[in-house]
Chains A and B, each alone.
Chain A
């Protein structure tokens, strides 16, 4: 059988490139039934023709099925079992009709006749069956071979085309046998340059000294594979970080025929990994520096990680942290919940929040003042990192400073009280004696004492504003009344300017009377001070449904546009055109602005230009300082009722 198979295989070679059309038709694994019938009929006709042609010469009357067996075989091999069957049937009918007695008659009349036809059919069927089996085996084998070749081709293309990996074969001794595109790209050698060279060429001198190339091969043999990471050399001498896998290859008898070596260049990966590791190390160093408290928490309020400084600050232990016992809500006093929510919204929107002051409740229940700030860790991460600074000491110092300023102010004012009182007594005394010169001196003295008193008060006010302790004693009063009082009182001591009031509001405001008087006094005295050589100050009052507005206008030196923004800051002072400085610490407008803001009012300045030189001389536009105050709710209600009625 095997012999026959070989013969057939040699005779019938499967088409490889499709140039043999007949072979393609004949050996298609799945032929159409029509093809099979055609093959069967052609084979039968061929056998019949041969019989007719050769009968006169070979005297084949006694053996009518001689060529039929061959035809059946050919038909079965090329067309399969069905074809063979058709050929068998046709030859049987034709030949028995023509050549078997009685000739040209299809009737089977003799036992010999029956036996000959039956034997022929059995032989033909046997041949068909054997041919079919061989044909199937042959086709299957060829199909598998083709598949294997295609698979090898794909693998070869894949290996040679791989660019990120160097994939090549080594001989059992370690000499390079094959080379791919990736190997050339990574190592820099072309296949002509490297094939036949020992692979230790890729190792560093140090590694070669330690016999690493040979040890790796040995390890691959003993352990089935060898994996390693380390520095390797390119052709240009440059080192790169490689991950290498060596797998031994054996033939079917188990003999080592070489190694497959896979090398990946991990230099960039290692660099980025190293950068990441360094960055993480830096962060961890910062985190563990414990200069300030740092924590990582999620937006749900669970503290997931925290450094020792933070834990110390809130009085919790590392165990509490690991047990997830620290919740933002537990350590935050209720009054700060809203501010915290605001900060979280800011973080969600901008990735970072403005730092703010709050308090924590320590584990022991005590409160600790802190400054906090948060930033989100990543856009796709709901965690944020928080930085917390303990400001207990600063708060204590602030408290001490407040106490000191309060005491200092009190102690300064006490002798001032005596000096002022004695000056007034003395003034009374000299007035009674008609000593005009002394009256004049003592009046000036009293003015300076008042100035000193105001300075002390201003410093105290600033201190209170800074620490958020400026107290207001609000009450409802008619605004016009205090304005009249202030103007009247200031006019008594102002000889150079006439203070002219324009308009009336008739409105009540709910405010701290003394503080509003302080603001009015400050604006009017400033107007007088900064308009030397002028003779009038205008105080204009107006109101709408919500606010009253007061504007104090002078025709003085004015304020350059670029300095207007800073006017309401501490220690901000205005110079004259000639660089001349005016008296004062630059606190009055700051205090006034703070007082008005505390009353939910607004303060601003209008100073269109500095000054102009005209034919008549310098023309001053001056400044206008305005503030608005909300009309008291009671008044607004009355106004609304009146409108309705």
Chain B
């Protein structure tokens, strides 16, 4: 069964490359520009959320806290994506399952998604 990956980033080009790369790995992709759109689209099919940190509105780490505090969504694996250097600390502090530093290699991305997706 094909897994569904939610990708959330305010940068369209990042959403594009993530879509193309993940499709190469045979994943279903659902795109969102911010956390509001993510929450509106989120359902039980979600295998993994790839979430940017710096976004308009609610930031990525705040969104992780919201989802991890909700019984319905706390089981969903979340990987934070960012170019920030202190990403490991941010991910650890907010309770994200993993992180991927931008810029990343296609293989790195596919390895991370494979590792964390349910």
- Residues on A facing B (Cβ under 8 Å): 406, 409-410, 412-422, 424-425, 428, 449, 453, 457, 460-461, 464, 471, 473
Q: Are B89 and A410 touching (Cβ within 8 A)?
A: no
Extra A-B contacts (17), CB below 8 Å, given A417-B103, A421-B18, A449-B103: A406-B85, A413-B102, A413-B103, A414-B102, A417-B83, A417-B102, A417-B104, A418-B14, A421-B14, A421-B20, A421-B103, A421-B106, A424-B21, A424-B105, A425-B17, A428-B24, A457-B85
Q: Do A409 and B88 contact each other (CB < 8 Å), given the known contacts A421-B103, A425-B20?
A: no
Q: Residue A406 contacts which of B18, B84, B104 (CB distance < 8 angstroms)?
A: B84
Total A-B pairs, Cβ < 8 A: 65
> Bound complex: CA of A409 vs CA of B87, how far in Å?
13
Does chain A have a CB within 8 A of B13? Answer: yes
Across the A-B interface, give the 4 residue pairs with the lowest CB-CB distance, nearest first: A413-B83, A421-B17, A417-B103, A418-B13
Q: Are B83 and A424 touching (Cβ within 8 A)?
A: no
> How near does chain A come to B114, taking the closest CB pair, in angstroms?
17
Q: Residue A428 contacts which of B14, B83, B106 (CB distance < 8 angstroms)?
A: B106
Does chain A have a CB within 8 A of B11? Answer: yes
Chain A minimum-CB-distance residue to B88: A473
Chain A minimum-CB-distance residue to B102: A417
Q: Are A410 and B103 touching (Cβ within 8 A)?
A: no
Q: Are A424 and B106 touching (Cβ within 8 A)?
A: yes
Does chain A have a CB within 8 A of B82? Answer: yes
Q: Are A417 and B17 touching (Cβ within 8 A)?
A: yes
> Bound complex: CA of A409 vs CA of B83, how far in Å?
8
Which residues of chain B are near A418, meaning CB under 8 Å?
11, 13-14, 16-17
- Residues on B facing A (Cβ under 8 Å): 11, 13-14, 16-18, 20-21, 24, 54, 82-86, 88-89, 102-106
Q: Are A409 and B85 touching (Cβ within 8 A)?
A: yes
> Bound complex: CA of A414 vs CA of B102, how far in Å?
7
Q: Are A471 and B89 touching (Cβ within 8 A)?
A: yes
> How near does chain B come to A375, taking the closest CB pair, in angstroms?
41
Which residues of chain B are near A460, meaning CB under 8 Å?
85
Q: Residue B21 contacts which of A419, A425, A457, A461 (CB distance < 8 angstroms)?
A: A425
Interface of A is mostly: helix
> How near does chain A come to B29, taking the closest CB pair, in angstroms?
14
Chain B minimum-CB-distance residue to A450: B103
> Bound complex: CA of A420 vs CA of B13, how far in Å?
11
Q: Are A410 and B105 touching (Cβ within 8 A)?
A: no
> Bound complex: CA of A449 vs CA of B89, how far in Å?
26
Q: What are 15 sample pairs from A and B whose C-beta atoms fall under 8 A apart?
A: A409-B85, A410-B83, A413-B102, A414-B102, A417-B14, A418-B13, A418-B17, A419-B103, A420-B104, A421-B17, A421-B103, A424-B105, A428-B24, A473-B88, A473-B89
> How near does chain B come to A283, taking the closest CB pair, in angstroms?
49
Q: Are A414 and B24 touching (Cβ within 8 A)?
A: no
> Bound complex: CA of A415 vs CA of B102, how far in Å?
10
Q: Are A410 and B88 touching (Cβ within 8 A)?
A: no
Q: Do A414 and B11 contact each other (CB < 8 Å), given the known contacts A460-B85, A471-B86?
A: yes
> Bound complex: CA of A414 vs CA of B9, how far in Å?
11
> Bound complex: CA of A59 vs CA of B13, how far in Å?
170
Which residues of chain B are near A410, meaning CB under 8 Å?
54, 82-84
Q: Are B103 and A416 touching (Cβ within 8 A)?
A: yes
> Bound complex: CA of A412 vs CA of B85, how far in Å?
13
> Bound complex: CA of A414 vs CA of B106, how far in Å?
15
> Bound complex: CA of A428 vs CA of B105, how far in Å?
12
> How near does chain A come to B59, taking the closest CB pair, in angstroms?
13
> How near does chain A come to B17, taking the closest CB pair, in angstroms?
3
Chain A minimum-CB-distance residue to B9: A414
> Bound complex: CA of A464 vs CA of B86, how far in Å?
11
> Bound complex: CA of A416 vs CA of B82, how far in Å?
12
Which residues of chain B are near A457, meaning CB under 8 Å?
85
> How near does chain B come to A599, taking the closest CB pair, in angstroms?
17
Chain B minimum-CB-distance residue to A421: B17
> Bound complex: CA of A410 vs CA of B24, how far in Å?
27
> Bound complex: CA of A31 vs CA of B102, how far in Å?
123
With most chain B CB atoms within 10 A of its CB, the pick from A425, A453, A471, A473 is A425
Which residues of chain B are near A461, meaning CB under 8 Å?
85
Chain B minimum-CB-distance residue to A416: B103
> Bound complex: CA of A413 vs CA of B101, how far in Å?
10
> Bound complex: CA of A471 vs CA of B93, how far in Å?
14
> How near does chain A come to B67, taking the closest CB pair, in angstroms?
23
Which residues of chain A are near B106, meaning CB under 8 Å?
421, 424-425, 428
> How near does chain A come to B33, taking the closest CB pair, in angstroms?
14
Q: Do A421 and B83 contact each other (CB < 8 Å), given the known contacts A414-B11, A473-B89?
A: no
Chain B minimum-CB-distance residue to A407: B54
> How near does chain B come to A183, taking the closest CB pair, in angstroms?
86
> Bound complex: CA of A460 vs CA of B82, how far in Å?
15
Which residues of chain A are near B82, meaning CB under 8 Å?
410
> How near does chain B come to A325, taking the closest CB pair, in angstroms?
43
> How near does chain B come to A501, taking the closest CB pair, in angstroms?
24
> Bound complex: CA of A421 vs CA of B85, how far in Å?
19
> Bound complex: CA of A415 vs CA of B11, how far in Å?
9
With most chain A CB atoms within 10 A of its CB, the pick from B85, B86, B88, B105 is B85
Which residues of chain A are near B103, meaning CB under 8 Å?
413, 416-417, 419-421, 449, 453
Which residues of chain B are near A419, meaning CB under 8 Å?
103
Which residues of chain A are near B13, meaning CB under 8 Å?
415, 418, 422
Which residues of chain B are near A421, meaning CB under 8 Å?
14, 17-18, 20-21, 103-104, 106
> Bound complex: CA of A416 vs CA of B13, how far in Å?
11
> How near does chain A come to B41, taking the closest CB pair, in angstroms?
23
Chain B minimum-CB-distance residue to A512: B88
> Bound complex: CA of A424 vs CA of B17, how far in Å?
10
> How near does chain B come to A413, taking the closest CB pair, in angstroms?
3
Chain B minimum-CB-distance residue to A410: B83
> How near does chain B come to A460, taking the closest CB pair, in angstroms?
6
Chain A minimum-CB-distance residue to B24: A428
Chain B minimum-CB-distance residue to A419: B103
> Bound complex: CA of A425 vs CA of B20, how far in Å?
8
Chain B minimum-CB-distance residue to A413: B83
Which residues of chain A are near B54, meaning CB under 8 Å?
410
Which residues of chain B are near A449, meaning CB under 8 Å?
103
Which residues of chain A are near B16, meaning CB under 8 Å?
418
> Bound complex: CA of A418 vs CA of B21, how far in Å?
11
Q: Are A414 and B14 touching (Cβ within 8 A)?
A: yes
